[in-house]
Chains A and B, each alone.
Chain A
Amino acid sequence: MLETINLSKTFKDKKAVDDVNLYVNKGESVGLLGPNGAGKSTTISMISSLLKPTSGDVLFNGNSIIKNPAEIRRVLGVVPQEIALYEELSAHENLNFFGEIYKISKGDLESRIQEVLEMVGLQHRQKELIKTFSGGMKRRINIAAALLHQPKVLILDEPTVGIDPQSRNHILETVRKLNEQYETSILYTSHYMEEVEQLCDRVYIMDHGSIVASGNKSELLSILSNDDTFHVQLSKRSEKLIDAVRLIKDVRQVDETENGLRIIAKKRSHFLSTLVHGAEKEGVEIIHFQMEIPSLEDVFLHLTGKSLRD
């Protein structure tokens, strides 16, 4: 449905986006993940036809939107990172304004306004001025404004930045509903890993303007090495036990922690019985044993060498 081909953007000498290739299928929810300055916003500005790429193309249903932006604009909803609303107007007046610019007929406009207000859960506050709203409520109206013309593709640029958990959950629920019930294709940018894990079928990880990895969650997790990490809490420290564990086949690394050991071993290795026997022999009690489950955050760290919120 929506595809970028070798999309690049250079500002003066700085390459903000470098050969980005991504696609969003009909009804699919795709996440674009990356730290601040990774090039996410520039990429979606080009996808939404607001910014001309230096090179490459964006195809919508096989047609270039660089040459003919009108085609995508008709069916595209964009939720910008900023609160793109008139603070001095009420929620209803803002939606009425955006409905008018989308040339929604007067007969349909009021029902559409009520529909989107209900969707974001702010029907009861529609007469109040935007400037009196909390950050989260403003973001919900910001989303509602992008939904008035029933877009087939919705691009959300970090829609949950700096808001309260209640509004955040509401926004995530709204996006999920749009995707599941209305089959709206979603391109969701964020630097909150858990949101992307929760919402998206597939994820693109971006860093320094390039896509560094892509796929569904399990595909991305498989990027991580073939090792598992274990945390063992022991009743006391034993040098002999550490040496014994180091000698176990398939154990790659043993580190001492505050109250035990951190063991990195090859996936599906059978070292547990040797560890238990060794501990018994040295008179050490195993208090707690836990396998570390890798997250997308670890994948990101592995790929970029930095945390998402850096």
Chain B
Amino acid sequence: MLAVFKAQLKKDVRKPVTIIVFMVVSILATLIFGNSTFGKPPTVPVFSTEPNGKEIEEKWIHLLKDSEALNFVLTEEEGALEDVASGKSSVAIKLMENDYRIITASNNSIVPFVEQEIHTIFSEEAQLQAVVGEEDTTKIRKVVESYLENPPLQAEVKSVSGGEIPKHDMGTQLLFVFTLFAAMFTIGFKVNGINEDKVNGIWNRLILSPVTKTNMYVGHLLYSFCIGFFQISVVLLLFQYVLKFELGDLRLIMMVAAIYTLSIVSLAMLISGFLRTPEKFNMVFTSFIPMIPVVSGLYMPPGTVSNPILLFIADLFPLKHAAEAMLNITLYNASWNDISLTVAILLLIFVIYMGIGINLVERRRG
């Protein structure tokens, strides 16, 4: 077993490019997508074409800037329309004295959200205007705001443990998803080493040697586990200590990562069981694996995917369970007890897939 393990290690030490590439890809993907697209509020260009456009723009941008969910920026009409046409912005807002128009190229998901946000701001202003008549609303706004700072009826939402409900952080979610996703490839390619050994005759040499079949499998699979876990650990430690991400209880996260790695080794073994050659494995594995996070809705905020069939398919793969467990640890300080069901599912996947996978591989040989 040790000889098999050492041989695989030597091969990777001599040619570490695959592992390094997947590590770099997961880090870059997290930094690019986690910090930009999902981390920041979407930008909405605003403009006015009225004769007193400057005045209108100044009045509304001041109020619109208060929005935390959207980033409104003043633009020329031409620039705003061009942005919408080219897809740089999903919507643009044309401002009028007491009204607005939403300009969009398609009825995408952000339109109702922008509509709701801007409608609130304009309605509020309209109500204040109705109270003060022709006068300026600044004064009354200040009064209302100071009154609302200490309203007679206050509602407070707290988490189950009594603390504040943490905001879902898409950046952290993508960090885990990309890290676990990239590791799937590394682990899969390493498990495929068994198929490669079988095709090039090394496996037969091992069978004829005093090494037992169990040791041959364990040598390969243990190495695949170690290299996958090493990759995940390095990426998570880099985020925690170098890029200063707050990941929470790292020991618990590492434990989930280890169990996840085991289940991916099993998944790769199961896929090996269905395919005869390493080339077929590489082709099917690389085409099939990228679908898992998409089907599981892991690139989107939680709850976006609600189709029961997709949710069922997602449940069959370890990625969704592991990412959820890690997020719960990081965002909600989940304890071992809180994630024990997820861990049990991952272990169940490990046992079932490994059992079926090895049986299929051995049956195919016979």
Please list the residues of chain A having a beta carbon within 8 angstroms of any beta carbon in chain B. 48-50, 52, 73-74, 76, 78, 80-86, 88-89, 93, 97-98, 100-103, 129, 145-146
Least CB distance, B256 to chain A, in whole angstroms: 33
Task: Tell me which residues across on chain A come within 8 A of B200, comparing CB atoms.
Answer: 82-85
* Distance, CA A78 to CA B202, complexed state (A): 11
Q: Supply 7 A–B pairs (Cβ within 8 Å), ascending by A.
A: A50-B204, A85-B202, A89-B14, A98-B205, A101-B205, A101-B209, A103-B210
Least CB distance, B16 to chain A, in whole angstroms: 11
Closest A residue by C-beta to B15: A88
* Distance, CA A89 to CA B15, complexed state (A): 10
Q: In the A-B complex, list the 3 residue pairs whose CB atoms are closest, starting with the nearest.
A: A84-B201, A100-B3, A82-B201
Whether B201 contacts A101 by the Cβ 8 Å rule is no
**What does DSSP make chain A's interface, helix, strand, loop or mixed?**
loop
Task: Find residues 309-365 in chain B having any chain A CB closer than 8 Å to their own CB.
Answer: none
Closest B residue by C-beta to A48: B208
Does chain A have a CB within 8 A of B206? Answer: yes
Whether B3 contacts A50 by the Cβ 8 Å rule is no
Whether A50 contacts B208 by the Cβ 8 Å rule is yes
Task: Tell me which residues across on chain A come within 8 A of B207, comparing CB atoms.
Answer: 50
Known A-B contacts A100-B3, A101-B4; the reply to A88 vs B11 at CB < 8 A is: yes
Closest B residue by C-beta to A77: B208
* Distance, CA A80 to CA B10, complexed state (A): 24
Closest B residue by C-beta to A149: B209
Whether B211 contacts A101 by the Cβ 8 Å rule is yes
Task: Find residues 245-281 in chain B having any chain A CB closer than 8 Å to their own CB.
Answer: none
Does chain A have a CB within 8 A of B7? Answer: yes
Task: Tell me which residues across on chain B come within 8 A of A146, comparing CB atoms.
Answer: 205
Closest A residue by C-beta to B216: A101
Task: Tell me which residues across on chain B come within 8 A of A102, comparing CB atoms.
Answer: 209-210
Q: Known pairs A48-B208, A84-B200, A88-B11; list 4 more (Cβ under 8 Å).
A: A50-B204, A88-B14, A93-B10, A101-B210
Known A-B contacts A93-B10, A97-B3, A97-B7; the reply to A86 vs B202 at CB < 8 A is: yes
Whether A73 contacts B366 by the Cβ 8 Å rule is no
Least CB distance, B219 to chain A, in whole angstroms: 9
Task: Tell me which residues across on chain B come within 8 A of A103, comparing CB atoms.
Answer: 210
Known A-B contacts A76-B208, A80-B201, A98-B205; the reply to A86 vs B4 at CB < 8 A is: no
Task: Tell me which residues across on chain A come within 8 A of B6, comparing CB atoms.
Answer: 97, 100
Task: Tell me which residues across on chain A come within 8 A of B7, comparing CB atoms.
Answer: 86, 89, 93, 97
Least CB distance, A141 to chain B, in whole angstroms: 13
* Distance, CA A52 to CA B2, complexed state (A): 28
Least CB distance, A272 to chain B, in whole angstroms: 56
Closest B residue by C-beta to A99: B3
Whether B11 contacts A73 by the Cβ 8 Å rule is no
* Distance, CA A145 to CA B206, complexed state (A): 11
Task: Tell me which residues across on chain A come within 8 A of B11, comparing CB atoms.
Answer: 86, 88-89
Known A-B contacts A52-B366, A89-B10; the reply to A78 vs B204 at CB < 8 A is: yes
Picked from B2, B15, B199, B208, the residue with its CB within 8 Å of the CB of A73 is B208
Task: Tell me which residues across on chain B come within 8 A of A97, comparing CB atoms.
Answer: 3, 6-7
Chain B positions 180 through 222: 1 when the CB is less than 8 Å from some CB of chain A, otherwise 0: 0000000000000000000111101111111100000000000
* Distance, CA A102 to CA B206, complexed state (A): 9
Closest A residue by C-beta to B11: A88
Task: Tell me which residues across on chain B come within 8 A of A52, comparing CB atoms.
Answer: 366
Task: Tell me which residues across on chain B come within 8 A of A100, comparing CB atoms.
Answer: 2-3, 6
Task: Tell me which residues across on chain B come within 8 A of A85, comparing CB atoms.
Answer: 200, 202
Interface centre among B11, B199, B208, B209 (most CB of A within 10 A): B208
Least CB distance, A137 to chain B, in whole angstroms: 16
Least CB distance, A109 to chain B, in whole angstroms: 11
* Distance, CA A76 to CA B360, complexed state (A): 29
Least CB distance, B14 to chain A, in whole angstroms: 5
Task: Tell me which residues across on chain B come within 8 A of A49, comparing CB atoms.
Answer: 208
Closest B residue by C-beta to A155: B208
* Distance, CA A235 to CA B206, complexed state (A): 66
Task: Tell me which residues across on chain A come within 8 A of B206, comparing CB atoms.
Answer: 101
Least CB distance, B291 to chain A, in whole angstroms: 31
* Distance, CA A302 to CA B206, complexed state (A): 41
* Distance, CA A129 to CA B13, complexed state (A): 14
Task: Tell me which residues across on chain A come within 8 A of B205, comparing CB atoms.
Answer: 78, 80, 84, 98, 101, 145-146
Task: Tell me which residues across on chain A come within 8 A of B208, comparing CB atoms.
Answer: 48-50, 73, 76, 78
Whether B210 contacts A80 by the Cβ 8 Å rule is no
Known A-B contacts A52-B366, A86-B11, A88-B15; the reply to A80 vs B204 at CB < 8 A is: yes
Closest B residue by C-beta to A145: B205
Task: Tell me which residues across on chain B come within 8 A of A80, comparing CB atoms.
Answer: 201, 204-205
Task: Find residues 1-42 in chain B having any chain A CB closer than 8 Å to their own CB.
Answer: 2-4, 6-7, 10-11, 14-15
Closest A residue by C-beta to B1: A101
Least CB distance, B296 to chain A, in whole angstroms: 35
